[in-house]
């Protein structure tokens, strides 16, 4: 599989507008973003990273959207890494700037106050896996392939992969996969707890959208608070994390959504959350 670690990019189509690098469609309260460079297996260059950031900002500012699904165009790749052709001749300063660009965009995704799901429809290698790791929940096609193969190119992951992999699957397993650069299967990703579930390719996106709709139907302030508490609590001791949860729990009772949710439960009707 080593040949799959290097994306041989043909670049964007000459007439491809920046809007087309990451497309957006909405399914009710769920926004679906697709990284759209299929000729380059959706590889990440600077323009694509910036466009991902712009799309995330759009979703964050759109009150009608309450959940996000991120996937790749085509059937071969979610995102098959950074664009090696664009990286080849960078000097150390340029490489550090590129790392900070991608790392900042993925942190923006991670901090989005709405649930995010990655529908991994093919190769998720290098920067592609790092992009997926910025999402709250990862689902994958059963033929998907995963890996952080940067050491096979003489570099290391630069968009947060070393840190998020260790936090998600443990330092021991992260060392194995990062330091070997080996590619692994969707089944291994499931065993490691990297992904939540596997699906037939045609069922993957519908499954991700269905989960996104479930999350979108819940109290948006409560969902955002739950996301924040889980993420922030991972870096705290248990006592401090439980105190963080208690504070967030209390803050929910200052919202109209809390009253609506509990009134609806007692009245045996569906709640109408407004994010207030």
- Residue 41 CA to residue 124 CA, distance in Å, equals 10
The verdict on whether 150 is a catalytic residue reads yes
**What is the secondary structure of 198-209 as a DSSP string?**
EE-HHHHHHHHH
Q: Report whether 167 contacts 203 (CB < 8 A).
A: no
Q: Report whether 134 contacts 160 (CB < 8 A).
A: yes
Q: Report whether 146 contacts 173 (CB < 8 A).
A: no
Q: Is 156 exposed, middle or buried (0-12, 13-18, 19+ CB in 10 A)?
A: middle
Tokens of 134: 């910025």
User: Which uninterrupted H or E stretch holds 269?
Assistant: none
- Closest of 167, 137, 133, 170 to residue 148, by C-alpha: 133
The verdict on whether 130 is a catalytic residue reads yes
Q: Which of 150, 182, 202, 243 is catalytic?
A: 150
Cα 94–Cα 101–Cα 52 angle in degrees, nearest 5 = 135
- Residue 172 CA to residue 39 CA, distance in Å, equals 35
- Residue 151 CA to residue 58 CA, distance in Å, equals 35
Which residues is 27 bridged to in the sheet? 30
Cα 215–Cα 73–Cα 160 angle in degrees, nearest 5 = 65
Q: Which of 54, 58, 110, 130 is catalytic?
A: 130
Residues in the chain: 276
Active-site annotation, residues: 130, 150
């Amino acid at each position: 599989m080593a040949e799959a670690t290097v994306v041989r990019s043909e670049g964007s189509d000459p007439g491809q507008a920046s809007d087309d690098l990451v497309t957006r469609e909405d399914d009710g309260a769920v926004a679906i973003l697709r990284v759209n460079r299929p000729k380059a297996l959706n590889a990440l260059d600077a323009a694509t990273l910036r466009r991902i950031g712009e799309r995330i900002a759009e979703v964050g500012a759109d009150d009608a959207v309450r959940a996000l699904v991120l996937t790749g165009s085509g059937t071969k790749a979610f995102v098959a890494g950074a664009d090696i052709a664009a990286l080849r001749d960078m000097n150390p300063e340029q490489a550090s700037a590129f790392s900070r660009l991608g790392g900042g965009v993925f942190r923006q995704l991670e901090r989005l106050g709405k649930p995010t799901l990655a529908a991994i429809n093919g190769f998720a290698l290098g920067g592609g896996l790092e992009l997926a790791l910025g999402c709250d929940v990862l689902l994958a096609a059963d033929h998907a392939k995963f890996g952080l193969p940067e050491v096979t190119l003489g570099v290391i992951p630069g968009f947060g992969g070393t840190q998020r992999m260790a936090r998600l699957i443990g330092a021991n397993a992260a060392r194995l996969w990062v330091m070997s650069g080996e590619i692994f299967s969707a089944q291994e990703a499931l065993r490691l707890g990297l992904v939540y579930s596997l699906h037939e390719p045609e069922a993957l996106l519908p499954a991700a959208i269905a989960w996104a709709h479930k999350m979108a139907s819940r109290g948006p302030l409560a969902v955002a608070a739950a996301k924040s508490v889980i993420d922030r609590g991972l870096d705290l001791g248990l006592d401090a994390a439980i105190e963080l949860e208690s504070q967030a729990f209390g803050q929910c009772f200052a919202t109209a959504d809390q009253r609506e949710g509990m009134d609806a439960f007692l009245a045996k009707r569906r709640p109408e959350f407004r994010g207030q």
